[in-house]
Amino acid sequence: MNNSDSIEFLTPTLPDEEYQARLLGLNRQSFSSTDFAFDDVTTHVFQPPEQYAQVDHSFFHDGANWHFFYNAFDVSREEAYLEAVAAGDWEGAARNSIETGMGHAVGPSLSHLVYRELVEPPVEGRHDMLLRSNGWVFHHEGRFGMLYGVRGAEGFVGFSLMWSEDLETWESGDANPVLQAPPWAMPRATCKDVHLYQHQGVWLIYTITAENVDAPCMGLHSTVDWKTFTDHGCVFRTNPMLRGTRGLESPTVFQRDGVWHLFVTSGPGVWHGIGPSPGSFSGVYFLGHFHATEVVEDPAGDWWFTTDRKEESRRRNRIAGNPCFRGTYEDDKVLYEGLYLSHIRWEGDQPILGKP
């Protein structure tokens, strides 16, 4: 199901002739370029406290400071957690939960973030008894909301809401969970890795799911009031990857100069592409061995790319003849390193990464 053609805010933002010229320009640039080397373009800027690693994340600027919210991931429990989930032992999985909340750091810039706290939503029921993490903060009608990912018994995966007056004290929404895998997704499909973007007064909610076993994809919902949500179907799909990240992860979507940009993790790293609207993308090219990225513009108009070292670590392990399979401690322990930052210089619609 995809009714995006009838939704005004999902229509192309440029005349087709202008968009096609931009697409051709990016195609020529990307065809002639190579992927970026991780160490050449990134600087390490944040390491989380002991016990919890950092992976998927989001940013919110309050007018003075950046608020950095990230998956606080207990890698040491992962194998026990996955064994319990595979056995359908939901109580055992809950006892070995690897994500009980969001790490929260604050700073005047993305390169000066100081850890503040672990935001732990309460367990509300069987829908969120396993995991509560991957939060994204937004401002709505005079208060702050946080849409965060939950996992529960019987394979439930979705999102719940919290609200705050000060970005410090949070209370649960009154209708959780608010989102789950859409009806067009395959049975027991995931619904995770949220990305929010406000366009024409409408909140666009991008999540990762799968149409079937052969088609991991990015789904799109929208809302204006955070009470009712419209499903716009699948807006980007791929095939399962046999090296690196198997499906899609960590999408970033935004508009810049009339063109819509997509950054997404799949296979050995991150891919970039553009589209004429927030519901349509015209292809992607490989950007580099990055993982769980976000792309943000600061108040001064500078653009930044954030990531972790996971796919770069996998690349190096393959070269060394020591491949570490996904879901193992050896594969995920690199996430304890935390956040890396790269500066973006735009050449037309192509992002050029460089050290800050």
Considering the chain, what is the average pLDDT of its residues? 95
Tell me the HSE value of 10 on the side-chain side, using a 13 A CA sphere: 21
Higher-pLDDT residue of 3 and 161 is 161
With 60 as the cut, is the pLDDT of residue 79 above it?
yes
Percent of the chain with pLDDT over 70: 98
Q: Looking at the domain assignment, is residue 244 inside a domain? A: yes
* Residue that terminates a domain, selected from 147, 178, 209: 178
Alpha carbon distances (Å) from 259 to 253, 265, 274, 279:
11, 20, 7, 12
* Residue that terminates a domain, selected from 178, 197, 229: 178
> Is 267 in contact with 260 (CB distance < 8 Å)?
no
SS3 state of residue 152 = coil
Q: Looking at the domain assignment, is residue 337 inside a domain? A: yes
Q: Which amino acid is at 171?
A: E
- Say if residue 264 is in the same domain as residue 305: yes
Calculated CA dihedral for residues 19, 21, 23, 29, nearest 10 degrees: -150
Higher-pLDDT residue of 304 and 212 is 304
Residue 172 is predicted with a pLDDT of 97
Phi, psi angles (nearest 5°) of residue 226: 60, 25
Count of structural domains within the chain: 2
With 60 as the cut, is the pLDDT of residue 88 above it?
yes
CB atoms under 10 Å from CB of 101, counted, come to: 21
* Residue that terminates a domain, selected from 122, 151, 178: 178
- Say if residue 28 is in the same domain as residue 111: no
Instruction: Give the C-alpha separation, 299 to 11, whole Å.
Output: 27
- Say if residue 130 is in the same domain as residue 242: no
Instruction: Give the C-alpha separation, 246 to 331, whole Å.
Output: 14
Report whether the peptide linkage leading into residue 177 is cis, meaning its omega lies within 30 degrees of zero: yes
Beta-strand pair 284-288/230-237? unpaired
- The per-residue pLDDT for range 27-39, each reduced to its tens digit, is 999 999 999 999 9
Q: Looking at the domain assignment, is residue 5 inside a domain? A: no
- Say if residue 65 is in the same domain as residue 27: no
DSSP sequence for 35-67: PBPHHHH-EEEE-PPTT-EEEEEEEEE-SS-EE
DSSP sequence for 315-351: HHHHHTT----TTSHHHHGGGGG-EEEEEEEEETTEE
Instruction: Give the C-alpha separation, 237 to 214, whole Å.
Output: 10
Q: Looking at the domain assignment, is residue 9 inside a domain? A: no
- Say if residue 207 is in the same domain as residue 323: yes
Residue 215 is predicted with a pLDDT of 92
- The per-residue pLDDT for range 92-126, each reduced to its tens digit, is 999 999 999 999 999 999 999 999 999 999 999 99
CB atoms under 10 Å from CB of 299, counted, come to: 9
Expressed as residue numbers, the domain containing 141 is: 53-178
With 50 as the cut, is the pLDDT of residue 4 above it?
no
- The per-residue pLDDT for range 201-254, each reduced to its tens digit, is 999 999 999 998 889 999 999 999 999 999 999 999 999 999 999 999 999 999
Alpha carbon distances (Å) from 268 to 112, 160, 184, 302:
29, 30, 28, 27
pLDDT band at 8 (very low <50, low <70, confident <90, very high): confident
With 90 as the cut, is the pLDDT of residue 1 above it?
no
- Say if residue 144 is in the same domain as residue 192: no
Residue 3 is predicted with a pLDDT of 38
- Say if residue 202 is in the same domain as residue 281: yes
pTM to 2 decimal places: 0.95
- Say if residue 241 is in the same domain as residue 356: yes
Alpha carbon distances (Å) from 7 to 38, 108, 254:
39, 38, 18
With 90 as the cut, is the pLDDT of residue 272 above it?
yes
**CATH code of 122's domain:** 2.115.10.20
- Say if residue 197 is in the same domain as residue 93: no
Residue 326 is predicted with a pLDDT of 85
- Say if residue 240 is in the same domain as residue 139: no
Q: Looking at the domain assignment, is residue 187 inside a domain? A: yes
- Say if residue 120 is in the same domain as residue 156: yes
Q: Looking at the domain assignment, is residue 58 inside a domain? A: yes
Phi, psi angles (nearest 5°) of residue 139: -110, 130
Q: Looking at the domain assignment, is residue 23 inside a domain? A: yes
Calculated CA dihedral for residues 94, 98, 236, 245, nearest 10 degrees: -130
With 70 as the cut, is the pLDDT of residue 2 above it?
no
- Say if residue 159 is in the same domain as residue 191: no
For range 267-278, the mean pLDDT? 98
Q: Looking at the domain assignment, is residue 117 inside a domain? A: yes
What is residue 186's DSSP assignment? P
**Count, residues in the chain:** 356
Identify the H or E element spanning 161. strand 157-164
> Is 186 in contact with 212 (CB distance < 8 Å)?
yes
> Is 149 in contact with 128 (CB distance < 8 Å)?
no
Residue 5 is predicted with a pLDDT of 39
